Amino acid sequence: MSLSSIPSDELAPADRRRQQILAAARRAFTRSGFHGASMHQVCAEAQMSPGAVYRYFPSKDAIIEAIAEEEQVAAGACMAALFGEGDLVDRMTTVAMDYLRAARDSETGGLLVEICSESLRNTTVGARFYEIQKGVRLALHTALEQAQAQGELRQDAEIDVILTLLFAIGDGLMMRLQIERDIELDSVEPYLRRMLSALVGKERP
């Protein structure tokens, strides 16, 4: 569990300050990008002096690293649902819908787009987020291998191709749902479930 999921009045003052800076940095990065946003903008957004901010984070890179760690924890929590009970397609749909709800959230959604575009770029920040994504991919790979061993996924399914399609659907929907605000998330779910079922279903493609 990340600190950001603990109600702020239960945190020690130093942790609360740290969380306040990270929340401000997320807003600044959403607005201006990881490269565009300056420490000055982060300080202004947090309504703190540079001296106060630098006491917690010596650099913008240290803030980005802290956000990457929070995202890694969140991704881990999200992936845990993949290894629960029940039907594989149900579990995958649940994980996908949780992710899409986070993408629709006005506090977190914009940064997800920025993280996604950045992880496609050949930059240090991009490489850090790509590394987190590789962890998610590994978890999904394990889940699909287990499903294949248990006969929930057909034997000739190419797991790496399926994973590429799953990530493509995740990235694409996350971005689309940001701009198409009139599409209800609930109306997407049945179609998503059918697609996932077709993708990992037992029949041959």
List residues binding its own copies (CB under 8 A): 113, 117, 120, 158, 160-162, 164-165, 167-173, 175-180, 183, 187-188, 190-195, 197-199, 201, 205
Question: 45 vs 171, which CB is nearer to its own copies?
Answer: 171
* Token representation of residue 23: 């929340």
Work out how close the CB of 129 gets to its own copies at its nearest, in angstroms, rounded to a whole number.
Answer: 12
Question: 46 vs 136, which CB is nearer to its own copies?
Answer: 136
Residue pair 151/140 in contact (Cβ under 8 Å)? The answer is no
Work out how close the CB of 155 gets to its own copies at its nearest, in angstroms, rounded to a whole number.
Answer: 15
Work out how close the CB of 100 gets to its own copies at its nearest, in angstroms, rounded to a whole number.
Answer: 10
Question: 61 vs 160, which CB is nearer to its own copies?
Answer: 160
Question: 21 vs 192, which CB is nearer to its own copies?
Answer: 192
Question: 11 vs 199, which CB is nearer to its own copies?
Answer: 199
Work out how close the CB of 106 gets to its own copies at its nearest, in angstroms, rounded to a whole number.
Answer: 15
CB < 8 Å & 24+ apart, contacts of 110-113: 110/30, 110/31, 110/178, 111/26, 111/29, 111/30, 111/67, 112/174, 113/174, 113/175, 113/178
Quickly list DSSP for 17-49.
HHHHHHHHHHHHHHHHHHHH--HHHHHHHHT--
Q: Report the C-alpha gap between 104 and 19 in whole angstroms.
A: 22
Nearest CA to 156 among 89, 88, 196, 202?
Answer: 202
Work out how close the CB of 76 gets to its own copies at its nearest, in angstroms, rounded to a whole number.
Answer: 22
Q: Report the C-alpha gap between 130 and 115 in whole angstroms.
A: 9
